A and B are shown apart, each in its own frame.
Chain A
Amino acid sequence: MSVSRISALGAIALSGALALSACASENTGATPGAGSTAAGSTAAGSTAAGDCFSGDLKAEGSSAQKNAIDEAIKAYQTACADANIDYQPTGSGAGIKQFIAKQVDFAGSDSALKTEPKDGKIEADDAKAACGTEAWNLPMVTGPIAIAYNVKGVDKLVLNAEVAAKIFDGKITTWNDPAIAALNKGVTLPATPIKVFFRSDESGTTENFTKYLKAAAPDAWSYETGKKWTGKGEGKEKSAGVATATKGQDGGITYVELSYAQQNQLPMAQIDTGSGPVELTAESAGKTIATAKQTGMGNNLALKIDYATKEAGAYPIVLVTYEIVCSKYADAETGKKVKSFLKTFASDEVQKGLEAKGYAPLPTEVATKVQAAVDAIS
C-alpha cells in the first residue's frame, strides 16, 4: 500500500521535473547558436546545398510563407540530414520582435523592416543594433492574394480596383450591381447580397490588400492601410477562417492567399488593371514583382511594389515576404548556417517547386539579386 503511494508521489515528482526540463531545454535552444553542436561543417561534402551544417537553425515570423519555407526545409534536409531547421509561423510582428531580441537566427516578415518610427521605435535601427551590423530584407517568397468569391452560377468574374474597393467597403451590396455587370458582359449575375469576409486578426495579407486598394483606387478606398481591417464586412479568424466562411456562404467574397483559395476550390476574380483582365497565375504575379522598385541600398532588397501597375498581364495584388537577416552575424557559425539554408531557399529548383504550393517563384531579375545577397551574408 505505502509502496504504491510512494511510487505515485515519485511519478508526480518525475513528471514535474520532466516538464520543467522541457521548458529549460526550449529556452537554451532559443538562443542563437547556443544549441548548435560544435561539429559544425565537418559533414560538408558534395551535396545539393553545397555546404551542409549540422545542428539547429531557428526562425520565426510570417505565417504567409509557412508552406514555402517548409518546402525549402524539406529540400534542404533531403540533402543535409543533420540540419534541424525550425520555423514558427507566429506572425510577422512576433518574428521581428524575436529577431531583435536575438531569440531567433532570422525572421520571416510580410513587410520589410520599417525605417520610419512606429510606436516610438524604428525597426530597422533596432535590428541593426541587435545584429551589430546592418540587417537585410531579402524578398524570398511571393504570395499572390486572390479575391475569392462564391456566387452560384458565376465561374468567371472580372473586377477592377475601384469596384473591388466599393465591394469591400460595403458600397456595392448585391452581385447584380450595374458596376459589376459593366465589367462582366455576358455573365448572368444573380441578385444575391454580397457578404464580405475579412481577417479579424491583424495580418500582412490585409495590409497588402488595403495597400493595393488605396494605391489603385484612391477615390473609392479612403481608409488607412494597415494590418487591421478598416473596411466593412464580417471578420473571421486567419486565412483558413475567411476561406471556409466564403466557401459556406452563397454571395461571399474575401481576399485570401492563393493557396487557400485553391485548396477550398474557390473561384478567383480576374483583375482589370486598365489593360485587360488578368488571371491570377504564378507568372502574372511575378510580373508585378519584376516591376517593383528596390528601396533598400545594395544588398538590402526591400521592394516597393507598384500596386497601380498598368503593365499588360501583371496581376497587381501580391504580397512579398522577406527573410530578415543580419548582414554579418556575430557568431560566424550562425552566419554560415543562415547562408547555407537561404541559398537553397533562393535556388531556382526550390523557387520553381513553390508554384505547386500556391506561391509564385521570384522572377529571374529579383532572384539573381537575392542569390547575390545571400552569398554576401557572413
Chain B
Amino acid sequence: MSTVTGVSAADQTPGPDGRRPLQADTASTGRMGDRLFGGAATVSGVLVIVLVTLIAIFLIVQAVPALMDNSANFFTSRVWAPGGEQPAFGILEFLWTTVTASTIAMVLSVPVGVAVALFLTQYAPSWMRRPAAGLVDLLAAVPSIVYGLWGLIAFAPVFKPVQSFIQDKLGWFPLFAPTGISGGTICFIGVVLAIMVLPIVTALSREVFDQTPTAHKEGALALGATQWEMIRTAVLPFGRPGVISASMLALGRALGETIAVTFLVSALADGNPWSWSLFNGGETFASKIANNASEFSNPNKTGAYIAAGLVLFVLTFVVNSIARVVIERRKAFTE
C-alpha cells in the first residue's frame, strides 16, 4: 500500500561515514535468493530501458525517410496528404487538438480528483472510506471503449445544449467561438477524457494523503488549526509530489487515449479555416493514426503516421521529464 512518493525519515538522515542510510555495504549476503532476486530485478530494469530505446529507434528509423520527402513544413503545416508523388503533411492541427483536449481534461480532473481524495481520506466517515475507494478504483478499470460508447450514446446529447449555450453567450471570445461542428468538439473530448482520468488522479492521491503522518496532522490541530487549515498545512504539502505524479500519469493517458477519442471526435474537412475555438473539431495524434491504420498502403505513408506518433512519444517524454524535475524540487522543500 505504500507509494514511493512519501519521504521517510530514514531517507533524510545521513548514515555513518557519509554513506546513504540503510544501505550498509550494499547489503548482499551472497546467498542464492539474494543473487537471484537482485539479478532478476536488474534484468527487468534494463529490459524497460532497452524497450523504450528500441521503440524510439523504431519510430525514428521509420519516420525519417518520410520526413525527408515531406514537401510541407512538418510542424507548421495543416495539410495532411502523405503518400503519393508529392507527400505533404504537417501536425499542427493534431498537436493543437491533442494538447488542448488534454489540458481541458487536466484542468477539470485534477482539482476534482484531489478533492475526492481529500474527502475520502479526511472527511468521509470511516465506514464509507473503503467501499468508496473501491468504487473509484473500479472506475479506473473501465475500458476506454466503454467511455467512448457512453460518451457517444448517453453523454453527447446531454452535453450538446451546454455547448450551444456557451457558444451563444460567450461566442465573442475566440476560444468559445461558434463553429459548425455539432457533437464531437475538442471541448467535449476534453470533458470525456477528464471523467476517464479522474479515477487515476483520485486513486493515487488518496494513497498519498493516507500516508500523511498522524503526528503532523495532530500537531497542526493541536496548534489550533481548523480541519481545512490542517489539510492545507499538513496533508497537501506532504502529498504534493504524489499528486503531481498522479496528474502526470493521468495526462499521459489523456494524451495517448485512442479508442474513445476516435469514437467521439469530429474530424475537420480539408481546407477548413483555422479556429482557436474549443468547439471546433479536429483529430488527436492517436485517433488519426488509429482511424487510418488500415490504409497504410506504402512505407512512405506509414512513415508519415509514425512521424506523428514520434511527436506524441516525445511530447509524453517531455511532460514526464518536467514532472520529474518538479517532484525533485518539491522534495527538497518538504519537512
Task: Please list the residues of chain A having a beta carbon within 8 angstroms of any beta carbon in chain B.
Answer: 63, 90-91, 93-94, 96-97, 119-121, 195, 198, 200-202, 227-237, 241, 244-245, 248-249, 252
Contacts and interface: CB of A to CB of B under 8 A. Distances in A.
A326 B25 CA distance: 70
Given A119-B84, A233-B269, A227 B295 contact: yes
Contact of A93 (B180, B262, B272, B296): B296
A198 B269 contact: yes
B57 to A, nearest CB: 22
Given A94-B294, A234-B268, 20 more contacts: A93-B294, A93-B297, A94-B297, A97-B296, A119-B83, A119-B300, A195-B182, A198-B267, A200-B265, A200-B283, A201-B291, A201-B292, A234-B269, A235-B267, A235-B269, A236-B184, A237-B287, A245-B182, A248-B157, A249-B182
Interface of B: 81, 83-85, 152, 156-157, 180-184, 262-263, 265-270, 272, 281, 283, 287, 291-292, 294-298, 300-301
What 8 A-B pairs have minimum CB-CB distances, sorted nearest first?
A235-B267, A91-B294, A200-B267, A93-B297, A202-B295, A93-B295, A234-B266, A201-B291
A245 B295 contact: no
Contacts of A121: 298
A237 B267 CA distance: 8
A233 B298 CA distance: 28
A252 B84 CA distance: 33
Given A119-B83, A231-B269, A241-B263, A90 B294 contact: yes
Most buried by A among B184, B272, B287, B295: B295
B300 A236 contact: no
B294 A201 contact: yes
Contacts of B266: 200, 234-236, 245
B74 to A, nearest CB: 19
Nearest to A61: B294
Contact of B291 (A63, A97, A200): A200
B291 A245 contact: no
Nearest to A195: B182
A228 B81 CA distance: 9
Nearest to B272: A232
Contact of B183 (A90, A237, A245): A245
A227 B300 CA distance: 17
Nearest to B270: A230
Contacts of B300: 119
A235 B281 contact: yes
Contacts of B294: 63, 90-91, 93-94, 201-202
6 contacts: A93-B294, A119-B84, A119-B297, A228-B81, A229-B270, A245-B182
Nearest to B261: A237
A52 to B, nearest CB: 32
A60 B208 CA distance: 50
Contacts of B85: 119
A234 B272 CA distance: 10
A235 B81 CA distance: 16
A201 B294 CA distance: 9
Contact of A234 (B84, B182, B298): B182
A63 B291 CA distance: 13
B291 A237 contact: yes
B183 A235 contact: no
A200 B267 CA distance: 6
A119 B300 CA distance: 9
Contacts of B298: 119-121
Contacts of B156: 248
Given A94-B295, A233-B269, A119 B281 contact: no
Contacts of B262: 237
A88 to B, nearest CB: 10
Contact of B181 (A97, A200, A234, A252): A234
Contact of B269 (A119, A232, A237): A232
Contacts of B283: 200, 235
A229 B182 contact: no
Given A97-B297, A235-B281, A202 B267 contact: no
A232 B270 CA distance: 7
Most buried by B among A96, A234, A252: A234
Nearest to A223: B270
Given A200-B291, A249-B183, A229 B84 contact: no
B209 to A, nearest CB: 31
Contacts of A97: 296-297
A96 to B, nearest CB: 8
Contacts of A91: 294-295
Contacts of A235: 266-269, 281, 283
Contacts of A241: 263
A283 B10 CA distance: 82
B335 to A, nearest CB: 36
B38 to A, nearest CB: 16
A102 B117 CA distance: 55
Given A200-B283, A235-B281, A195 B297 contact: no
Contacts of A248: 156-157, 183
A200 B272 CA distance: 14
Contacts of A231: 269
Contacts of B268: 234-235
A236 B184 CA distance: 9
A366 to B, nearest CB: 27
Contacts of A233: 269
